[in-house]
Amino acid sequence: MPNYCEISDALIIYELSAKDITTFKGGGIIEKTIFPKTEEALFKYAGEADFILGRGSNLIISDGLKKITALSLKMLNKVSCFKDEIYTQAGATAKNLLDVALKNSLTGFEFLHRIPGSVGGLIKMNAGAFGQQISDTLTCCSVLNDGVVKEVKPNFGYRTSDLSGIAISAKFKLKRSKSEDIANRIKSNCLKRVSTQPSNPSCGSVFKNPPFASAGKIIEESGFKGFRIGGAEVSDKHCNFIINKGGATADDFLQIVDKIEKTVYYKYGIRLEREFKLLD
């Protein structure tokens, strides 16, 4: 069971389980996690951090106790809007961004609907869907690196960026649109997600799509649809998702990943690139 300790500028939780902090809902335990309440507290505790914890999507924590200190920006989640720009702290969720954009009739964030990540993670991974990605609208972000805060514009690639350090805040520039048109695009994206992606706990897409190909289709054609080890199973709805059917461990997940990688390389000569991050 986790132990909570609240002080004036932070919440500290000891023995925080992956079941409680990752979207996969299975894996190991982090010995100490610090949740700063202010940006000043973030600067104070940043030097203690071995790992920056977002909202736990695209993350697998290997089984067992991780004797590390993690830093979570979950409590730094303010979002504001001025004209066609949105300013946000890095701990805000994708939903927070989308809600503010919709309220202010701004388009460019519709693809974020049902993406569970935080702003820092969205930027680090260059999150995207439906032909859009977070880099399309990002103007700049403030980053804490080696005790110094700098304003940067990362270089982006497919589901990646060269962002280093701790993202503190970000600014996005969007475009005006009718609120009802934005709402309709959100609804359309939602229907596509529900029809093509599983609702069970998962870490999201396991592999990046190879050039001109679909990782999910390749995995399905390799015979892995419904393949299961322990409590982890390749979704029969979308084979690039490994879902937690109940009691799945990180080892269950990683065994499936390893088997898929080896089989796909043997059959097609394709080395699938992992999209998730592993805290080992």
**Residues near 50 by Cβ (< 8 Å), separated by ≥ 6?**
68, 69, 70
The residue type found at 2 is: P
Query: In angstroms, rounded to a whole number, what is the distance separating the alpha carbons of residues 218 and 238?
Result: 11
- What are the residues facing 229 on neighbouring strands? 232
Distance of CA 28 to the CA centre of its chain: 18
- Output the CA angle 209-277-204, nearest 5 degrees: 55
Query: In angstroms, rounded to a whole number, what is the distance separating the alpha carbons of residues 19 and 28?
Result: 8
Instruction: State which H helix or E strand residue 5 sits in.
Output: strand 3-7
Which residues are the active-site residues? 159, 205, 275
Number of Cβ within a 10 Å radius of residue 280: 12
Are 181 and 153 a contacting pair, CB within 8 Å? no
Q: Nearest to residue 72, comparing CAs of 146, 147, 20, 137?
A: 20
Query: In angstroms, rounded to a whole number, what is the distance separating the alpha carbons of residues 61 and 25?
Result: 10
Instruction: Find the length of the chain.
Output: 280
Are 126 and 135 a contacting pair, CB within 8 Å? yes
Distance of CA 105 to the CA centre of its chain: 25
Copy the structure tokens of residue 103.
Answer: 């309220």
